[in-house]
Structure 1
Amino acid sequence: MDTPKTPTVEEINRNVKYLRLLSDRFPTIAAASTEIINLEAILNLPKGTEHFLSDVHGEHEAFRHVLKNASGAVKRKVNEIFGNTLRETEKKEICTLIYYPREKLELVKASEPDMHDWYLTTLHQLVRVCRTVSSKYTRSKVQKALPPEFAYIIQELLHESSDEPNKHQYFHVIISTIIETHRADQFIVALCNLIQRLVIDSLHLIGDIYDRGPGAHLIMDTLCHYHNLDIQWGNHDILWMGAAAGNECCIANVLRTSLRYANLVTLEDGYGINLLPLATFAMDTYASDTCKSFLPKIEEGDKTHNERTCRLISQMHKAISIIQFKLEAAMTRRHPEFDMDDRNLLGRINFEKGVLVYEGKEYELNDTNFPTVDPKDPYRLTKEEEEVIHKLHYSFVGSEKLKKHIHCLLTRGSMYLSINSNLLYHASVPLNEDGTLKEVLVHGKRYKGRQLLDKVDSLVRTAFSDEPLPEQQFAVDFIWYLWCGKNSPLFDKAKMATFERYFVKDKALHKEEKGAYYDLRDNEQVCDMILDEFGVTGEHRHLITGHVPVKTKKGEKPVKANGKLIVIDGGFSRAYQSETGIAGYTLVYHSRGLQLVQHEPFTSTQEAIREGKDIISSTQLVELSSQRVMVRDTDKGLELERQIHDLFLLLTAFRKGIIKEKGQ
């Protein structure tokens, strides 16, 4: 440790109020000195492993497995520890047990002839793994992670070696007694869960938890209880947040997107949303309509949705889409500053000709059945549509489970995060074509770059304020703009061509032109400019984002701008996998460097447990540190160094008598 500069009396006097408060926690020279020693020791530990995921889109089983195997980190640790002393099949068995201890134990018991011997061997192996993954943390931090029921026993096993002659029998007896008292199963589960927790120090989820897959609510259950988590909101997350805030445009979009992918599980089972009013209305209104353009996107071989179910979903899908277009027209009239009047297309239909008149041209419609649209007043909701959206509004804002999950998104989430020389955000920072930061009008004032994302973050929180605020209604409305507005940092496209894709035959109108950011993000200078704008420093600094799937099978690379930008949306969602060719990227940043992990499709949890099938992954080194990265080199290290400085101030204040030691 460098010898600290002796604090001056003037510096102590400037901070004396703060130091008196600090002395309540460290009342003596001994207490302050002990804490300095402790913090200095922590600075010299290897940095904890950070795990980055993005665009999980409701794929709960794959998400859960990647979380459990820590993107291959568990397997790497097992290989490092056991090397060639165990066969590959044996190492695979250990990994599967760590991922799914309860389920794997049931299978082992059904086939293992000598459970006592299996317990003895397995417990010794798990203790070795646990000892290794806990070695980069302080005893205090590990202690806080220990399951209370077995805290003392695990602590003894982690800090006593069976190789030590004086402790060999002591260590062996602990293991044997666990087995003899029939506590081995519970102990194994506790130990495996602890290994999972210690392998990853922090989880960064860079947006889009919701939509497409059926288990977003299950993912949120996991995240709400995760030990160290931050979330950067994605456009699909913000859409659900808007629905929970009562924004009816967001509610309609949530329902439309869910119906498009036949994902009713999240709505009904996850959040208790009552879809009966919509179903009844849709069956009556579109009874003779084929609703061909609204058939749900389901996987080939899907046996959970029969023809009758698909028919009903397509009717509901069309019904809520028309309601959505009407609600959005009212929103754009209320907020002309959104500059989205060009998205109101129901009023541009020539119903007699069956065409859309757009920018002076006529486009043939593939569907001309609009039983609820009055050509003279196309954006007026019918009485029945009003009743449907009113009941859906009540269902969304009244869902306690949804409120809990949105609270988690608010408390653990933000628009962006700067951490350890990495800037994390979901989609974009809006840019002009010349690469400069684009000014965006928000509630009468223009913002760009960091100020824009800060303002957006503040507005999202304002929308959920318990105390009525002047901007609150605007904030609730603005969440819809974040979902589909052309200058939204969560969307950043010229338009969302929802109407065109459903109703217009000419695919030229289906194109959604991306903002300038997406053309410029491969430019290293542009990435450096964005990093500078957000105050991100460091020799090796990066932008880490998701949102746009990397088309790996077409040769696109996730690492761009000479290593400055890493895009980790590789197709976690099954709906994207035919386009990307893989099943997602994840990123692992440990003390030896930054590793990008490419995943192949996950089959099922059952196969993973029964056959030991892991997600087949390949790892690419993005950066390898010449020296091991220590806590001292991280943002946490800077924080600890500030605390050490303050404690030295307190020590000097004690020694000079400016502040008296307590209890002396």
Structure 2
Amino acid sequence: MKDIDYLKLLSEEYSSISSVTSEIINLNAILNLPKGTEHFLTDLHGEYEAFSYVLRNASGVLKFKIDDLFDGELNCKEKRKLATLLYYPEEKLDLIKKEISDLDRWYKNTLVQLIKICRVVSSKYTRSRVRKTLPKDFAYIIEELLHEEEERLNKHDYFNNIIDTIIEIDRADDFIVAIANLIQRLAIDRLHIVGDIYDRGPYAHKILDDLIDRSNSVDLQWGNHDILWMGAASGSLACITNVVRIALRYANLSTLEEGYGINLLPLATFALNTYKDDECNSFIPKKPIENYYQEKDLELISKMHKAISIIQFKIEGQIIKNSPNYDMDDRLLLDKINYRENTIEVNNQKYKLNDTKFPTVDKNNPYRLTEEEERIINRIRECFLGSDKLQKHIKFLYSNGSMYLKYNSNLLYHSCVPMTEEGSFRKVNLGNEKLYGKTLFDKLDFLVRMSYFNNGDLDKKLYGQDIMWYLWCNGDSPLFGKNRMTTFERYFIDDKSTHIEIKDPYYKFRDNEIILDNILREFGLNPEVSHIINGHVPVKASKGESPIKGDGKLLVIDGGFSKAYQSKTGLAGYTLIYNSYGIRLASHDPFESKERAIVEETDILSTLEVLEKMDKRKYIYDTDKGKELNDRVKYLKKLLAAYRMGLINEDIE
């Protein structure tokens, strides 16, 4: 019999005919369950409260379930209160208990309502799957309540006695919290984050804590901002300076200082001394957090911002000079400054500088760090390398993330596939190779991993770190998607024509079905049934732009989770929802605050649009997981035959 060696290994797990037959029956039953609900989010950019709320209400899905389940039983106000309790059980309980006179009766009604909701959201799963998700303290009780209905004649007293006892022994609050969290978890079977958790907003570290808590049901496709932090965590000075610069640019130091304990005091001291007579007007934070920083704080942040930017330009210049294959000589600008005329030459044209104070730049060797700059950046680097929480989060990004993902006939990547002006795949020089399409993504995925985990070969590790920076800002990077990053020009030149960053040709072909089909084939997917899902470029819905491209082949789901982009999008984010009936897009209104959501019971208004309705309901046997389970069943049947034929002996003990 073929595969006999594999079957012998399999027999160690299933050592008898009865265990094999039980597992075959179990797997075949699972294959005939409805497909789980997938949620796709992108470009979270540190907006923790909005992200957390969308997870808690399952992008508005739980609100609709409450409306359906209790239609005619609860009024609108009661439904809102129940929904808020479901989203924020601990906080809402404290408020409700102050206003309810007959608390025991309220507890009983509420527990029954939550159990009904839990029955609905758990109905797609096996008992075994639900059991693994149950909170330990109430696992047995919840399992009993989920599978026994109070209306059933023989179990009426049994069901009600469980509820009454929970209330009597003062465990109702704990039970409500436990079952609410269980409902939130079961409402989303798989969560896809299509890039850019970091930067802009204040609490990327909190988002990652929540994702790690769901790690068995989460995947991530790295965005350019994620790669930047991954490079910084590996020790890349170019990535570290960019991370710090962006945090200072938005006066947003929470993730760095509170989240990861990065000490910026040496940079602050250096900036105060070096730029004490410099107003640093071009480096005033873009969007300071309201009422959080005083004027003196912002002055200091501006000086730190300029200090780290100059260090960044020097370090990047060193990489560009040492890596001619990156083709980034046009980014070497410190040596193009004319200090007599206070001008700079960019692309063979002269421009007036709006800032002429460069106290640390050596005119004869402009890309050399001063001793003080080198000491400071190395101290900051030690903080990045020594932050246990940062390293834990980055390891999670590696273990659950990738450059792209194929999942249930969907192709997920953050930004673009580099293309030519004619619409073919652009060949990218990477070392001694010319790569394009899937091979380019695969190679970059390998190099990204090497930069973090290869500690044996220093040259390879340093090359990998440079690749991380390359992915952040190079014109051939599939994560960046523009011809250049004009950071220097935006700070030092008022002429906005120098600020222009031209998008990759990919973006003008996003409505071309033929080219989208070519991309899907390149990654091994059937264009007839597959979609591409992207983020990276905010959809300007307020100006009539649609997230649906190429007649539904491509879905761009960056709707402005980050507050920095909401003025452009007119929205506060999208969630793509793919369940057993079809694909829907939820567009969210801005989330004002957690406090208002709890006290005033205001829900994010989420508008659901059906993008694709299935001809027939999808089951697990239609999914990638189903293919794996079918293969498992195939080998279990071979093992069963081997036992019956005596080719492998059963363990009869």
2:533 corresponds in structure 1 to 544
Q: How far apart, in 1, do the equivalents of 2:93 and 2:539 lie?
A: 38
2:517 corresponds in structure 1 to 528
Q: Does 1:317 align with 2:294?
A: no
State the number of aligned residues: 651
Q: CA deviation at 1:406?
A: 0.5
Q: Does 1:448 align with 2:458?
A: no
Question: Superposition pairs for residues 197-208 of structure 1, below 5 Å?
Answer: 197-208=185-196
1:348 corresponds in structure 2 to 336
Q: How far apart, in 1, do the equivalents of 2:347 and 2:96 lie?
A: 68
From 35, 58, 61, the counterpart of 1:70? 58
Q: CA deviation at 1:208?
A: 0.3
1:611 corresponds in structure 2 to 600
Q: CA deviation at 1:472?
A: 2.1
Q: How far apart, in 1, do the equivalents of 2:642 and 2:231 lie?
A: 52
1:240-292, Cα deviation, whole Å (9 max, x unpaired)? 01111111010110011000000111111111111011101111111111111
Q: Does 1:117 align with 2:112?
A: no
Letter in 1 for 2:227: I
Q: How far apart, in 1, do the equivalents of 2:25 and 2:396 lie?
A: 36
Question: Superposition pairs for residues 4-23 of structure 1, below 5 Å?
Answer: 13-23=1-11
2:158 corresponds in structure 1 to 170
1:476-495, Cα deviation, whole Å (9 max, x unpaired)? 11110000011011112110
Q: Does 1:583 align with 2:556?
A: no
Q: Does 1:599 align with 2:582?
A: no
Q: CA deviation at 1:607?
A: 0.7
2:184 corresponds in structure 1 to 196
> TM-score normalised to the size of structure 2?
0.98
1:308-331, Cα deviation, whole Å (9 max, x unpaired)? 111111111011111110110001
Q: Does 1:329 align with 2:317?
A: yes
Question: Superposition pairs for residues 69-468 of structure 1, below 5 Å?
Answer: 69-226=57-214, 227-298=216-287, 302-465=290-453, 467-468=455-456
Q: CA deviation at 1:80?
A: 2.2
Letter in 2 for 1:88: C
Q: Does 1:503 align with 2:499?
A: no
Q: CA deviation at 1:466?
A: 5.0
Q: Secondary structure at the match of 1:446?
A: strand
Q: How far apart, in 1, do the equivalents of 2:547 and 2:143 lie?
A: 42
1:128-163, Cα deviation, whole Å (9 max, x unpaired)? 000111111000000101111111100100011111
CA contact (8 A) 2:455 2:461 kept: no
Q: CA deviation at 1:660?
A: 2.2
Letter in 2 for 1:584: G
Q: How far apart, in 2, do the equivalents of 1:184 and 1:159 lie?
A: 19
Q: Does 1:516 align with 2:516?
A: no
1:482-538, Cα deviation, whole Å (9 max, x unpaired)? 000110111121100000000111100100001111111221111111111111237
Q: How far apart, in 2, do the equivalents of 1:395 and 1:136 lie?
A: 46
Q: Secondary structure at the match of 1:19?
A: helix
1:6 corresponds in structure 2 to none
Q: CA deviation at 1:25?
A: 1.5
Q: How far apart, in 2, do the equivalents of 1:30 and 1:43 lie?
A: 20
Letter in 2 for 1:598: S
Letter in 2 for 1:633: D
1:221-247, Cα deviation, whole Å (9 max, x unpaired)? 111111410010000000001111111
From 472, 481, 484, the counterpart of 1:492? 481
CA contact (8 A) 2:582 2:612 kept: yes
Q: Secondary structure at the match of 1:83?
A: coil
CA contact (8 A) 2:35 2:580 kept: yes
CA contact (8 A) 2:16 2:650 kept: yes
Q: CA deviation at 1:85?
A: 2.0
1:609-654, Cα deviation, whole Å (9 max, x unpaired)? 1111111111111111121111111101111111111111111112
2:41 corresponds in structure 1 to 53
Q: CA deviation at 1:376?
A: 2.1
Q: How far apart, in 2, do the equivalents of 1:428 and 1:305 lie?
A: 37
Q: CA deviation at 1:93?
A: 1.3
Q: How far apart, in 2, do the equivalents of 1:391 and 1:288 lie?
A: 25
Identify if the C-alpha distance between structure 1 residues 148 and 538 changes in structure 2 by more than 3 Å, giving closer, same or farther. farther
> TM-score normalised to the size of structure 1?
0.97
Deviation larger for 612-621 or 301-310:
301-310
Q: CA deviation at 1:393?
A: 1.2
Letter in 1 for 2:133: A
From 457, 472, 475, the counterpart of 1:483? 472
Q: Secondary structure at the match of 1:311?
A: helix
Letter in 2 for 1:376: N
1:562 corresponds in structure 2 to 551
Q: CA deviation at 1:297?
A: 1.6
Q: Does 1:636 align with 2:625?
A: yes
Q: How far apart, in 1, do the equivalents of 2:106 and 2:585 lie?
A: 36
Following TM superposition, the consecutive aligned residue runs of length 4 or more in structure 1 with deviations greater than 6 angstroms are none
Q: How large is the Cα RMSD of the aligned pairs?
A: 1.2
Deviation larger for 322-331 or 647-656:
647-656
Q: How far apart, in 2, do the equivalents of 1:271 and 1:467 lie?
A: 23
Q: How far apart, in 2, do the equivalents of 1:391 and 1:655 lie?
A: 67
Identify if the C-alpha distance between structure 1 residues 538 and 33 changes in structure 2 by more than 3 Å, giving closer, same or farther. farther
Q: Secondary structure at the match of 1:263?
A: coil
Deviation larger for 417-426 or 444-453:
444-453
Q: How far apart, in 2, do the equivalents of 1:361 and 1:146 lie?
A: 66
Q: Secondary structure at the match of 1:621?
A: strand
CA contact (8 A) 2:46 2:197 kept: yes
Q: How far apart, in 1, do the equivalents of 2:348 and 2:222 lie?
A: 38
Identify if the C-alpha distance between structure 1 residues 466 and 478 changes in structure 2 by more than 3 Å, giving closer, same or farther. closer
The unaligned stretches of length 5 or more in structure 1 are 1-12
Q: Secondary structure at the match of 2:72?
A: helix
Letter in 2 for 1:488: S
CA contact (8 A) 2:38 2:191 kept: yes
Q: How far apart, in 2, do the equivalents of 1:359 and 1:143 lie?
A: 64
Q: CA deviation at 1:661?
A: 2.1
Deviation larger for 131-140 or 72-81:
72-81
Q: Secondary structure at the match of 2:406?
A: strand
Q: How far apart, in 2, do the equivalents of 1:133 and 1:64 lie?
A: 19
Q: Secondary structure at the match of 1:418?
A: strand
Q: Secondary structure at the match of 1:363?
A: strand
1:9 corresponds in structure 2 to none
Q: How far apart, in 1, do the equivalents of 2:310 and 2:343 lie?
A: 17
CA contact (8 A) 2:454 2:460 kept: no
Letter in 2 for 1:389: I
Deviation larger for 564-573 or 385-394:
385-394
Q: How far apart, in 1, do the equivalents of 2:399 and 2:315 lie?
A: 30
Q: CA deviation at 1:357?
A: 1.2
